[in-house]
Structure 1
C-alpha cells in the first residue's frame, strides 16, 4: 500500500501521542492510588497531541487541563509533564509562545502545589522549569529552521527561474539570428532560381517551344521552397503561440480544410508550457493533414481530464497503415515537446485509413520545464 505524505504525517503524530501516553501510564502504574479516572486523564492529555498540527492551541489547552487535573489528584512524578511538554513545544513551533509560557506556568503551579516539602518544591520547580524552557526554545528554534528552509528553497527556485529565463532569452536571440541568416542567404538564392526558371519558361512559351518538364519542376519546386522557407522563418521569429486550437481550426477551415473541433471535459486555463505544446501539436497535425491527406475530413478532439489533456487529430485521407511514415521535423518536434512534459504521443496511419495523432499531456507542469 502506498500512502501520501499527509497520511504518513498523521500516522507519525498518532504514534507520538501513543508513545507519550504509554510512558506516562507506565510511570503511573508504579504509583500507589492511581485510579481509572487518572488513566483517563492521562489518555486524554496524551492522545490530544495527535492533532497538534491542526490545532496547536487547542491541544495545549486540553493537555494542560487534563494533565494538571491528574497531577492534583494523583501526585505523580515529573514524568507526568510529558504531554504538556510536547504541547508547549508544538505551540511555540506554531508561534504561540505566549500561551505556551502561560500553560507552562499553570502546570508548574499545579505540580508544585502537590509537593509536601520545601526542598521538593525547589527541586521539582527547577527541574520542570528547565524542561519547559527547553521545550519553548526548541519549538522556536524549529520554527526558525523551517522558515530558513523555506527561504532557501524560494531563493533556489528564484535562481533556477532566472537561469531558465536567461536560457530562453538566449534561445530567442539565437532563433532570430538563424532567421536572419536564412533570410539573407537562402531566400535570395531560392528567389534567383525561381526567377531564372520563370524567365526560361516564359521565353520557351514565347518562342512556341515545348517547355521541358524538368524546367517546370524546378519552377514549382522553387515556389514550394519559398513557401516552406517563409513558414520556417515565421516559426523561428515567433516564440509563443499566437492563438488557440480553436483559432487554428478556424484558419484551417478558411484555407479549405474540412475540420471539426470537439471539446469534452472541464475546459480550464492551462500552464504556459502545456498550452504551448497543445497549440503546436494541433498546428503541426493540421499542417500535415493539409499537405498530405488531400481532400480529407479532419476531426480535432480536446479532452480535459482531472490530471491530463488528451489531444486527438484524425483524418480520413489516403495514409496506409502498412506504410508507416518516416518521421520528419514536424513529428519529431511534437514528440520532443510531449516527452519533455512527461506525456505520450502516437502518430501513425489508422487501420481504417487516414492518419491519427494522439497526445496525452499531464496537467500541472511547472512553468520552467520548457
Structure 2
C-alpha cells in the first residue's frame, strides 16, 4: 500500500522523477573536481554507471542496485571524491520496500559481486589503502545499512496499514451481514408467526366454522401484505446504501399499538405500559424490535395468553419488560432461538443487560435494559 502522495503521482510520473534525478545526479558527479589522475574517458562512463541505473530502480530494483553498487565500489577504489554509496543507498531503499524476504537476492551474492569488483580494481591498478579509504568505506556501509533499515520499516508500516484496512473492511462486511440478517428476521419472523397461527386455526375450523376460517384468512392476507411491503422497503434501502431511508420512517414506539392489535389477532392480548418520552430514533427502533420479537415468541409458544409490555426511560437508560402467563418452558424446534439471540445482540450493541427465561410463578419473562444518550 503506497502513501497518498505516491498514489496521486502514479507509477509513470515516479519513474519520470527517478529518471530526472538520475540525470542530475550523474551530471553532478561529472562537475565535481578531482585530481586522482583518472581520465575523462573513464570518469564519464563510470559516472553514468553510478547514476543512470537509478532511473529504472522501480522497474528492476535489484539489477539497478547491483549495477550502482559495482560502479560505486570502483569509484571508491579509484579514489574519486564522489559520494560513492549515495546512489547505491537510493536504489537499495526501493529494493527494501518492494522485495519480500524470499524474493530478496541473498547478501552473500552481493558480497561476492563486490569482491569480484574489488579484485578487478586491484589487478587493474594500485590501490591507495589509506585511512580516508577506510573511512569512506565504513561510511558507505553505514549509509547502505540505514537505507535498508528505513526501507524495511516503511515496508512493514505499509503492510500493517494494509492489514488494518483489510480487517476493517472484513469487519464492516460482517457487521453489515449481521445487520441485514437481524432486520430480515425482525421483519419476517413476527408476520410469519401470525400467519402460521391463523393458518392452523383456519385448517381446524374450516368445515365446522367457515366464517372463522374466513376471518383467519383475511388476517393472513393483511399480515402478509404488510410484511411484504416492509421487506420491499428494507431491500430498497440495502440497494441504495441507505440514501433514501428518510423517505419511509423506521418503526418506533408509536407502532406498538399496531403490534398489539396484530398479536390480538393471533390470540395474545397485549397490555402496553409505555413511559419513555421522546427517544432517539435508533434507540426507539431497537426498543420496538425487542418488544416485537418478545411478543412474537409469545405468539409462537404461548398463545392464547395475556402479555404485559412495560417500557420505561429516565433520559439516560431504557428498560423493557415483557411477561406473559403462558407455559414457562418452551421447546424451540429445529434449532430455533434466533429471536433471543437477536434481542441480546441489540442490547449488547448499547452495552446493556439482557435476560430471558421462565418465571417462578409461571409464564415467561424477557427483560432488557441499556443506556443511551438523549
- TM class by shorter chain equals 0.3 to 0.5
**TM-score, with structure 2 as normaliser:** 0.45
The two structures have a TM-score, normalised by structure 1, of: 0.45
